[in-house]
Amino acid sequence: MARVLHNLLVFSIRLALKIRVLGYWSLIYGYCALCTIVALLKLWWNIVLRPTTTFQWAIRETPPACLNDTSLGTHCYVRIKESGLRFHYVAAGGRGKPLMLFLHGFPEFWFSWRYQLREFKSEFRVVAIDMRGYGESDLPLTTESYRFEYLVTDIKDIVEYLGYNRCCLVGHDWGGTIAWLFAIHYPEMVTKLIVLNCPHPSVFSDYALRHPSQLLKSSHFFFFQLPRFPELMLSINDFKALKALFTSRSTGIGRKGRWLTAEDMEAYLYALSQPGALTGALNYYRNVFSSLPLSQNNVRSPVLLLWGERDAFLEQEMAEACRLYIRNHFRLNIISGASHWLQQDQPDIVNTLIWTFLKEGEGRKSYRN
């Protein structure tokens, strides 16, 4: 009798797990279908309104002058032996100084850290990289090449190539996700972790499944699972959707923020209009659902989480919930009126808060190798 009950319990648990997995993927594919229908309606409406210009967009052939601004640093390249990929990065500050490594988000590249490169080069070796698939870094063709483990290993390899065994790691958006994961898997290599507008990955997955409002704000995660069609929708009308991300009232930099100049916008369009660039950026999303939930969660480095109050994509409640996974000092700063594009929107406030965090506890000397 006991054996029968045991077998029945095991069967029930396995069945419940299978139903849960089925429900999880049904939700994903169902929401993908809904987002596709909405996108097709938008495309149809664009064709009605602009029949001659909808399918016109231009590849920017020449980089704008701001990308060669010497005050931001020196353009460098590194080829990682293990992966065979070449990475582009911009570096400033003395080589003997402690390393501060910046990881950008979507749809950005190293240029999103221009205000921080100028600010922190006095005390740090500052390095802003183009992550794989972005900017002048190599663009792997397969979707599987953008799995979490490869993205995290990229950061480890780059830190070691630069001659360091640890760094102060700063990440925004997708760069924030990779920064969280790197701190989880390589805690000995992160002296301090600074994340901008990106929750801990486990907080995001748990919260989104329980809050339909966050699922709605994350609809692009589902739409981007489709092959090719998202690239088309981001390209039509000469990349109008990409421009709107940074400039529209709903998702763009706030009225009190530091708006992108026309040249800044051209820098983004130069990077993202290149052949294959959008596919590389979108491939980050195309692996996210198969990579969650995480097997490890705890962060043992001191953490500063900066959050723009007006983030159009992420609900603020997730910021405080990150505390659950941090086994060290945790500081959270909500910046009033700031958008998702925090380090560009409010660079002076962001830089001041980072300096304050860096001076806490052990002091700057602890950063030296």
Q: Which pLDDT score, from 0 to 100, does residue 304 have?
A: 98
Q: Which pLDDT score, from 0 to 100, does residue 369 have?
A: 43
Q: Is 1 a member of any domain?
A: no
Rounded to the nearest 10 degrees, what angle do helices 174-185 and 201-210 cross at? Answer: 120
Q: Is 124 a member of any domain?
A: yes
Q: Which pLDDT score, from 0 to 100, does residue 32 have?
A: 73
Q: Is 128 a member of any domain?
A: yes
Q: Is 291 a member of any domain?
A: yes
Rounded to the nearest 10 degrees, what angle do helices 148-161 and 174-185 cross at? Answer: 80
Instruction: Exactly one of 104, 311, 340, 367 is catalytic; name it.
Output: 340
Indicate the number of domains in the chain: 1
Q: Is 91 a member of any domain?
A: yes
Please list the rounded mean pLDDT of every run of 10 residues in the chain (369 residues).
Answer: 60 59 63 78 85 89 97 97 94 96 98 98 98 98 94 97 97 98 98 98 93 91 93 96 94 85 97 97 93 88 97 97 96 96 97 96 47
Has 340 been annotated as catalytic? yes
CATH number of domain containing 125? 3.40.50.1820
Q: Which amino acid is at 247?
A: T
Instruction: Exactly one of 130, 138, 173, 311 is catalytic; name it.
Output: 173
Q: Which pLDDT score, from 0 to 100, does residue 19 have?
A: 67
Residue 195 sits in which domain range? 65-209+287-360
Q: Is 339 a member of any domain?
A: yes
Q: Which pLDDT score, from 0 to 100, does residue 33 have?
A: 78
Instruction: Exactly one of 285, 325, 345, 367 is catalytic; name it.
Output: 285
Whether 306 contacts 335, CB under 8 Å: yes
Does residue 87 come out as left (phi exceeding 0), alpha (psi in the -120 to 50 range) or beta? beta
Q: How many helices (H) and strands (E) does the chain have?
A: 14, 8
Q: Is 187 a member of any domain?
A: yes
What CA–CA distance (Å, rounded) separates 353 from 358? 9
Give this prediction's pTM.
0.90
Q: Which pLDDT score, from 0 to 100, does residue 367 have?
A: 43
Q: Is 134 a member of any domain?
A: yes
